[in-house]
């Protein structure tokens, strides 16, 4: 079968392409921006890529067109596909039909932590010798790819609440028919497709409706919005987890930065580990993964052993470099809750050392100004805050962050940010750069500026 993918260079669709190729299909695809590393990864799999949306890419006609959710009506390739009456589907629907049928699907859902938790769960199952299949929105550090078919029965999928396609506005995760589902947290996000928190809550409940009675829900018991979603109806047993005492399953620190922790069920100690990650939020993610693996038959002690050698996906508190004693980190945080959690983890690691936080407000929700009233409060653990204000943002970053007072600085160019931070940073400082995009190459520009000032 020849499969043609529109929007192939996104992480999810690139994963679909890799799975289709591994399954023996001929795969081609196109995207507006075809460039490394995704382009080279796909071409190494024998997947021919087309730059742009010329309808000629659909001639001769493929057996099926898989349409990414970034594609809309009016796109030349989409219009040609419809006019020619070609068979088409979405990525999630293709995945459900051709890969997930007859698999034990372990889905990882939540506003934050999906990629990290999916990577943890996959590595635990791998360490246990189960060779799971997976599709994750990033390349897990313990693997060389973001997707593989793996061995039956287990398949881990990062279960995104974003919409499926222009012709299917349901969340991606309702397609997967999961047997085990992690619900990590629930907050307002994706303001470009959801009008309010209640609409996201209802969509999460749609996921809950698909989990069978002999499945398992792994739920953050401290999240009130998840509790509200579950109050709409539950037909599946629940394991509830949280940080600290009083939880059915609890995670407790054995080091101030959470680089070591233990897991308990009530008062029963299930085991402990020391691992490369930091932060309470990551320890909670780990507990969720442990419980999901437990449902698949992996003992918590073995799961904790696996986590001792876990490597996170790129851009999760990843060190970009150290110059003149200044350490520069790259992190994917782009929501106030994630920003605060990331800073808390770094603060517990570095103690009283100075933290310079740098943010690009790039996500659709951030660009719409949804978080402008809560943004300043997320920087409590930062000594200095640098905020990027692109000219097309549409809201006043400076006005929204006046509470930062002298701690905050707003700049309108990446080069100006690099120069300003390099001038202020001194040996022993930690610079945390946060964005869900490339931030105009700020990491490299800052490291160069620091070196030039030596």
> Are residues 290 and 331 part of one domain?
no
Judge if 227 and 188 occupy the same domain: yes
Q: What is the pLDDT of residue 426?
A: 92
**pLDDT for 365:** 66
Domain boundary among 58, 90, 122: 90
Is residue 51 domain-shared with residue 74, that is, in the same domain? yes
Residue 393 is assigned to a structural domain of this protein: yes
The predicted structure's pLDDT at residue 158: 95
- Tokens representing residue 154 in the block: 């287990």
Residue 276's φ and ψ, nearest 5 degrees, are -80, -10
Q: Are residues 291 and 395 in the same domain?
A: no
Question: Would you state the structure tokens that stand for residue 165, as one six-digit string?
Answer: 């396609």
**Residue 43 is encoded by which pair of tokens?**
């071409």
Q: Kindly report the CATH number assigned to the domain that includes residue 186.
A: 3.40.1190.10
Look up the domain containing 116 and give its range.
102-307
Q: Is residue 95 part of a domain?
A: no
Residues 263 and 338 in one domain: no
Report yes or no on 213 lying in a domain: yes
Report DSSP letters for 423-436, one per residue: HH--TT-EEEEE-S
Shared domain for 163 and 265, answered yes or no, is yes
What pairing do the DSSP bridges indicate for beta strands 260-265 and 249-253?
antiparallel
What pLDDT is stored for residue 348 in this prediction? 83
Residues 177 and 145 reside in one and the same domain: yes
Specify whether 339 is located in the same domain as 298.
Answer: no
Q: How many CB atoms lie within 10 A of CB 130?
A: 19
Residue 313 lies in a domain: no
Residue 299: inside a domain, yes or no?
A: yes
pTM of the model: 0.82
* Dihedral angle over CA of 126, 132, 136, 142, nearest 10: 20
Clarify whether residues 6 and 63 are in a common domain.
yes
Asked if the structure places residue 6 within a domain, the reply is: yes
Considering the domain architecture, whether residues 78 and 129 belong to the same structural domain is answered as: no
Whether residues 296 and 392 fall in one domain: no
> What CATH number is associated with residue 42?
3.40.50.720
358-376: buried (b, 16+ CB within 10 Å) or exposed (e) per residue?
bbbbbbebbbebbbbeebb
Residuewise pLDDT in 10s, the chain (454 residues):
999 999 998 889 999 999 999 999 999 999 997 766 677 778 888 899 999 999 999 999 999 999 999 999 999 999 999 999 999 999 999 999 999 999 999 999 988 888 899 999 999 999 999 999 999 987 787 888 889 999 999 999 999 888 999 999 999 999 999 999 999 988 867 667 777 888 889 999 999 999 999 999 999 999 999 999 999 999 999 999 998 777 899 999 999 989 999 999 998 999 999 999 888 889 999 999 999 999 999 999 999 999 999 988 766 778 888 998 999 988 877 678 788 888 988 898 888 999 999 988 877 666 666 667 778 788 888 999 998 887 777 667 777 677 788 888 888 888 988 899 998 999 999 999 988 777 888 888 899 888 876 5
Give pLDDT, residue 344.
Answer: 86
> Total structural domains in the chain?
3
In a domain, 96, yes or no: no
Provide the β-strand partners of residue 105.
155
Residue 430 burial (CB < 10 Å; 0-12/13-18/19+)? buried
Distances (CA, A) of 25 to 63, 81, 143, 145, 435: 10, 20, 23, 18, 35
Could you tell me if 81 and 140 lie in one domain?
no
């Amino acid at each position: 079968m020849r499969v043609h993918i529109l929007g192939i260079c996104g992480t999810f669709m690139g994963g679909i392409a890799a799975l289709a190729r591994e399954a023996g299909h001929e795969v081609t695809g196109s995207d507006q921006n075809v460039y490394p590393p995704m382009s080279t990864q796909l071409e190494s799999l024998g997947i021919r890529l087309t730059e742009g949306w010329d309808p000629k890419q659909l001639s001769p006609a493929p057996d099926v067109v898989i349409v990414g959710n970034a594609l809309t009506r009016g796109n030349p390739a989409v219009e040609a596909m419809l006019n020619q009456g070609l068979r088409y589907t979405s990525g999630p629907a293709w995945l459900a039909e051709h890969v997930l049928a007859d698999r034990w699907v372990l889905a990882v859902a939540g506003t934050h932590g999906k990629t990290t938790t999916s990577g943890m769960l996959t590595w635990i199952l791998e360490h246990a010798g189960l060779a799971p299949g997976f599709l994750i929105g990033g390349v897990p550090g313990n693997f060389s790819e973001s997707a593989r078919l793996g061995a039956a029965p287990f398949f881990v999928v990062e279960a995104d609440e974003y919409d499926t396609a222009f012709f299917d506005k349901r969340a991606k995760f309702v397609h997967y028919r999961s047997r085990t589902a992690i619900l990590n947290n629930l907050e307002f996000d994706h303001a470009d497709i959801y009008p309010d928190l209640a609409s996201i809550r209802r969509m999460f409940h749609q996921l809950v409706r698909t989990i069978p009675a002999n499945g398992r829900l792994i739920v953050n018991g401290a999240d009130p919005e998840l509790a509200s979603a579950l109050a709409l109806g539950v037909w599946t047993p629940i394991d509830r987890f949280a940080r600290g005492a009083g939880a059915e399953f609890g995670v407790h620190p054995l080091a101030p930065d959470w680089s070591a922790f233990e897991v308990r069920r009530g008062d029963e100690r299930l085991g402990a580990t020391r691992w490369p990650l930091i932060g309470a939020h990551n320890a909670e993610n780990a507990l969720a993964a442990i419980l999901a693996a437990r449902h698949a038959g992996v003992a918590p002690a073995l799961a904790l052993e696996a986590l001792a050698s876990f490597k996170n996906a790129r851009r999760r508190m990843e060190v970009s470099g150290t110059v003149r004693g200044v350490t520069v980190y790259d992190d994917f945080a782009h929501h106030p809750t994630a920003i605060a959690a990331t800073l808390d983890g770094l603060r517990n690691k570095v103690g009283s050392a100075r933290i310079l936080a740098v943010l690009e407000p790039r996500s659709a929700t951030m660009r719409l100004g949804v978080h402008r009233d809560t943004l300043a409060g997320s920087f409590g653990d930062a000594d200095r805050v640098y905020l990027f204000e692109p000219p097309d943002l549409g809201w006043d970053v400076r006005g929204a962050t006046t509470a930062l007072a002298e701690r905050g600085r707003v700049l309108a160019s990446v080069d100006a940010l690099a120069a300003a931070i390099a001038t202020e940073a001194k040996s022993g400082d930690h610079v945390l750069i946060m964005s869900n995009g490339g931030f105009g190459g700020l990491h490299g520009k800052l490291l160069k500026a620091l070196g030039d000032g030596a």
